[in-house]
Amino acid sequence: MSAGNLLEAIVLGVIQGIAEFLPISSSGHLVICADIIKAFTGEEFDPEASLQMNVALHAGTLLSIVIVYRKILLKMIFQPNSWSPILIATAPLVLIALTPIKDMMEAMATPMVAGVCLLVTAALLFLSARFQGKSDPEPPADIEVPIWKAAIIGLFQAFALLPGISRSGSTITSALFLGISREEAARFSFLIAIPAISGATLLMLKDYFSEGAKSSVSLMPLAVGALVSFLVGLFALKWLLKIIARGKLHYFGWYCLTVGLLTIGWKLFI
């Protein structure tokens, strides 16, 4: 185990913890960063190269959601029916993952597509300022998102498979469009992230074992990466929840707009 491996685990943990929750699209940033690295170094950069590390990083951010929403999750264990809206919102993502559509969307993972999709994310975030919805500092004790609204939010989540479309940004803004309070919109968005992240983690584990489960990363970097992604994710999630409660989610639109335009300009003119 080298210091370089630990440093890489820390950097990846920080990136995962921030990008998983803030509405800036982690997948879009990975595609763009890989292209920049290739342009300046001539080396291919594959952010998905280490399946073990990806599993560890996703586990860390998943735990941060569980910690933040532990009270309602504990309550939902004894109320199976309360999972219905979450399962309905997850269904479009599952259907796409089991069809050739997923491969088509993954084939679109280019910097230009990521740049254009970041502009779409920016537009959604700017629109959220016009559909703020009511503020509800104390969301209902139970999930009160109607099934039909959950289905629409789930469709927005499925579109986030495209690089540059933020999962949290699209699901929160779609909930606001549907008249759901800011706090409940955020809570529902991150609760439906639990099966989404869990599913992605299971798929990575499946790929890992199908490749013969050859160990390429020692235990310490994996543990460090998971811990860093958990701690950074916990901070990022709590910070984002405060921003949403204040009705300032659209601020991230300026960032997505800037990165999207720079990326498009990079690919068109440089």
Give the pLDDT confidence score for residue 215 in this predicted structure. 52
pLDDT in tens, 212-251: 555 555 778 888 989 999 999 999 999 999 999 888 999 9
Weakly modelled stretches of the chain, pLDDT under 50: 1-2
For residue 205, give the nearest of 66, 99, 50, 95 by alpha carbon.
Answer: 50
Give the pLDDT confidence score for residue 46 in this predicted structure. 60
pTM for the predicted model, two decimal places: 0.88
Give the pLDDT confidence score for residue 42 in this predicted structure. 73
Domain that holds residue 141: 3-269
Give the pLDDT confidence score for residue 104 in this predicted structure. 85
Domain count, the chain: 1
Give the pLDDT confidence score for residue 1 in this predicted structure. 43
Residue with tokens 């069809």: 99
Give the pLDDT confidence score for residue 29 in this predicted structure. 84
Give the pLDDT confidence score for residue 207 in this predicted structure. 67
Average pLDDT in the chain:
86
